Amino acid sequence: MDNCGKREFALLEKIGFVRVSGSEEEKKAAEMLAEEVRALGAEAELEPFPVTHYEVKKVKFEMLEPEYREIEVLGYGYSGSTPEEGITAEFAYVQQGNKADLYGVKGKIVLVDGRVAPDVYERILKAGAVGFVSWSGTVIDDNARTDIDKRELREPHWRHGKCPGVVMRAWDAMELVRANPKTVRLTLVQEESERNSHNVIATLPGTDLPEEEICFVAHYDSTPYSNGVYDNGAGAAIILEMMRHFIENPPRRSLRFLWVGSEERGLLGSKYYVKAHEDEMEKIQLLINVDMAGPVLGVDRAFITGDVSLQHMVDYLGAEAGFPIRTTQDVYSSDSTPFADKGVPAISFARFGAQGAAPGHDRNDLLEHLSAESLEKTTGFIRLFCDRIVGSTWFPVPRTMPDNMLEAIDNYLHRWDKK
Ligand SMILES: [Zn+2]
C-alpha cells in the first residue's frame, strides 16, 4: 500500500470540526477540499445552492402544575412560532401519535415519542394539537456528555402547516409524564432565512472514452454537534484518494468527483446536483458513493442500486482479493439515491462500525474510534473495484434500473409525495 490511510487520517484531523449545512464551517470545509484537489494539480469549483436556515430567538417549556418546573428544551426548526408570551394549554402524552393515541387532544400540547415523522405530524395537526414536544436520547444518558438533538421539520412536513414544537431529554419527558401536569406553557420564537451550501466539483478527462463518465460522490457536511469524521469525512477523504490515484494513472473514462454539502438535511446537495445537471445524467455510467468509513471494529458493506450483476462483481472481487465485504442490492440512505432515481446505476461503499463501536450523528463521532489502517483497507478495495470498472473494455454494468430497485427508490424518495 502507499500510505493512503495516513493521508486520509491526516485530512480527517484537518476537517474534523462541526460543519452543518449552510454554516460558515461547512463553507470552510468545502474550500479546504477544493484546496486539496488543487494541490493534486486539478481544478476544483464550488457550486452554491440555497438551503433554508432557522434561528431560535426564544424557547421555553414550563410545567405549570402540580408544581412549577422549567424544562430544558430546544426549538424544533421550521415549526413556526408562538406569541412572545407563549401558549398555555392542557397537556397530553400521545405516545406514538397513532389515531387512538390522539383522541381528544384538540387544543392541547402533546408529547410524542421519538422523531415526529411526517405522517405523525399530519395526524397531530388534524387532531387539533396546538404544540408538540418530542424527546431525544435515552433515560440513562449522562447530561454532561450528551446533547439534546437539534431537530427540524422538513419539506414533507411543511405542506401540513406550522405547529410550534420543542425537543427535550428522555429523562425529562419521563418525569413530565410521571408528574401528569394539567397545563403547560410552550414558548418558541424563531426566524427563517436562506443561506448557501456548496458542492465541490472536479473532473478528470478520460483518455479513450471521454464521453463516458463515472461519478464519485461523498458528502462532507456533518450533523449538529458532530465532527463528522466517520460520517463522512472518511468518504470525502477516500474519493480524494481515488482522484490522486487516477491523476497518477490516467483513466480510460472521464471521472467526476463531487463532495456534496447538506446531505444530513435530506440529501440536499446531491438532489440539487442532479437537478442542475440533468442533461449530464445520461453520460454517467456509474455512480460510486462512499458514506461512512474508518471504524477499527466494523464491517465493510456495498449497497448496489442497480443490476444484480454489479453485486456479483463485487462479491467476486472480494473473494479474489480476500477482502471481506457484505453486499446488498438495495437503496442506501445517502447521495447515491437521487442519481439512481434518474436511472444512473449506483454503488455505495461503507464500513459500518460494529454495534457500539462507532457512534455517529452526535458529539461521539470521534477520530479515536477510527484508524488509518482501517481506512487504508477499505480504500484499497474500492481502488481495486474502480481500476476494474474505470478501465474496462466494454462497460460491464447495464445502464438499466431493475424493477425491484425502482420500487425501492420510490419508497425511499417519493413515499411522501404521493400522499
Ligand atoms: Zn453520512
CA of 35 to the centre of ligand 1 (A): 22
| Same domain? 67 vs 40 | no
Domain-located, residue 28:
yes
Dist. CA 225–CA 150, nearest whole Å: 9
Helix axes 24-39, 234-248, angle to 10 degrees: 20
Is residue 375 within 8 Å of residue 296, measured between CB atoms? no
Helices 372-390/234-248 angle, 10° precision: 50
The pLDDT assigned to 403 comes to 97
pLDDT score of 341 more than 60 = yes
Q: What is the mean pLDDT of residues 222-231?
A: 97
Last residue of a domain, one of 190, 210, 238: 190
Supply the pLDDT for residue 1. Answer: 53
Domain assignment present for residue 116? The answer is yes
- pLDDT tens digits, one per residue of 70-111: 999 999 999 999 999 999 999 999 999 998 999 999 999 999
Same domain, 260 and 322: yes
**pLDDT at position 413, please?**
87
367 part of a folded domain: yes
Say yes or no: 47 and 184 in one domain. no
Cα distance between residue 352 and residue 291, in whole Å: 9
Q: What integer pLDDT is reported at residue 266 of this predicted model?
A: 93
Distance 184 CA to ligand 1 centre (A): 37
| Cis, bond preceding 199 (omega within 30 deg of 0) | no
Q: Is the pLDDT of residue 56 over 70?
A: yes
The CATH number of whichever domain residue 157 belongs to comes to 3.50.30.30
**Residue 228: alpha-carbon gap to chain centroid:** 11
CA atoms of 224 and 103, how far apart (whole Å): 35
Q: What is the pTM assigned to this prediction? A: 0.94
- Which residues are bridge partners to 108 per DSSP? none
pLDDT on residue 285: 97
Same domain, yes or no: 288 and 401: yes
Given pLDDT bands bounded at 50, 70 and 90, which one contains residue 348? very high
Task: Yes or no: say if 370 and 228 are a contact pair by the CB < 8 Å rule.
Answer: no
Residue 324, domain member (yes or no): yes
Q: Is residue 297 within 8 Å of residue 323, measured between CB atoms?
A: no
Based on the domain organization, do 214 and 354 belong to the same domain? yes
What CA–CA distance (Å, rounded) separates 113 from 136? 9
Ligand 1 centroid, distance to 227 Cα (angstroms): 12
Confidence category of residue 418, pLDDT binned at 50, 70, 90: low
How many whole angstroms separate alpha carbon 272 and alpha carbon 274? 6
**C-alpha of residue 81 to centroid of ligand 1, in Å:** 30
Reported as a single tens digit per residue, the pLDDT across 350-379 is 999 999 999 999 999 999 999 999 999 999
| Mean pLDDT over each residue of the chain, to the nearest integer | 96
Rounded to whole angstroms, how far apart are CA atoms 102 and 111? 10
Question: How confident is the model at residue 415, as a pLDDT?
Answer: 67
- Our count of domains for the chain comes to 2
Cis peptide before 66 (omega within 30 of 0): yes
Q: At what angle do helices 4-15 and 372-390 cross, to 10 degrees?
A: 110
What's the 91 CA to ligand 1 centre distance in angstroms? 36
Q: How many angstroms is it from 220 CA to the middle of ligand 1?
A: 8
Ligand 1 centroid distance, CA of 271 (Å): 15
Q: What is the mean pLDDT of residues 316-325?
A: 98
- Label residue 103 exposed, middle or buried (CB < 10 Å: 0-12, 13-18, 19+): exposed
Which DSSP string corresponds to 84-143? Answer: TT-EEEEEEE-TT--TTTTTT-TT-EEEESS---HHHHHHHHHTT-SEEEEEES-TT--G
Interval 111-125: pLDDT, tens? 999 889 999 999 999
Kindly tell me if the per-residue pLDDT of 408 is higher than 80: yes
Residue 250 lies in a domain: yes
> In terms of Cα–Cα distance, which of 196, 139, 137 is closest to 167?
137
370 close to 9: Cβ distance less than 8 angstroms: yes
What is the CA(362)–ligand 1 centre distance, in A? 12
379 with 294, same domain? yes
- How far is it, in rounded angstroms, from Cα 360 to Cα 393? 40
176 and 294 inside one domain = no
231 Cα to the center of ligand 1, angstroms: 5
CB-based contact 84:106 (threshold 8 Å) = no
Q: What is the pLDDT of residue 114?
A: 87
Residue 419 lies in a domain: no
Angle at 302 (CA atoms; ends 317, 238), nearest 5 degrees:
90
Question: What secondary structure letter does DSSP report for 229?
Answer: I
Say yes or no to pLDDT of 342 above 60.
Answer: yes
pLDDT tier at 416, thresholds 50, 70, 90: low
Q: Tell me the average pLDDT across 306-327.
A: 98
Q: Residue 70 gets which letter from DSSP? A: E
* CB contact at 8 A, 151 and 134: yes
Q: Can you give the pLDDT at residue 136?
A: 97
SS3 28: helix
Separation of CA 225 and ligand 1 centre (Å): 14
8 pLDDT more than 90: yes
Rounded to the nearest angstrom, the distance between the alpha carbon of 217 and the centre of ligand 1 is: 11
Domain end among 163, 190, 217: 190
Residues 274 and 357 in one domain: yes
CA atoms within 13 A on the CB side of 85: 2
The stretch 388-400 carries a mean pLDDT of 95
**C-alpha distances in angstroms, 336 versus 29, 51, 151, 268?**
21, 20, 24, 12
Residue 255 sits in the same domain as residue 353: yes
Is residue 14 in a domain? yes
- pLDDT tens, position by position, 150-208: 999 998 999 999 999 999 999 999 999 999 999 999 999 999 999 999 999 999 999 99
Cβ-contact 5, 375 below 8 angstroms: yes
Contacts of 373 (CB under 8 A, 6+ apart): 5, 296
Q: What pLDDT score was predicted for residue 417?
A: 56
Q: The CATH number of the domain where 355 resides is what?
A: 3.40.630.10
- Cα 379 to ligand 1 centroid, rounded to whole Å: 17
Q: If you measure from the C-alpha of residue 223 to the centroid of ligand 1, how many angstroms do you get, rounded to a whole number?
A: 9
Q: Is the pLDDT of residue 232 over 80?
A: yes
User: Of the residues 190, 221, 246, which one is the last residue of a structural domain?
Assistant: 190
Domain with 378 in it: 4-51+195-414
pLDDT, residue 344, reads 98
**Is 291 in the same domain as 379?**
yes
Torsion of CA 31, 264, 197, 246, to 10 degrees: 40
Q: Given pLDDT bands bounded at 50, 70 and 90, which one contains residue 414? A: confident
User: Cell digits for 137?
Assistant: 436520547
Same-domain pairing of 35 and 111: no
* Cα–ligand 1 centroid distance for 232 (angstroms): 5
**Are residues 156 and 246 located together in one domain of the fold?**
no
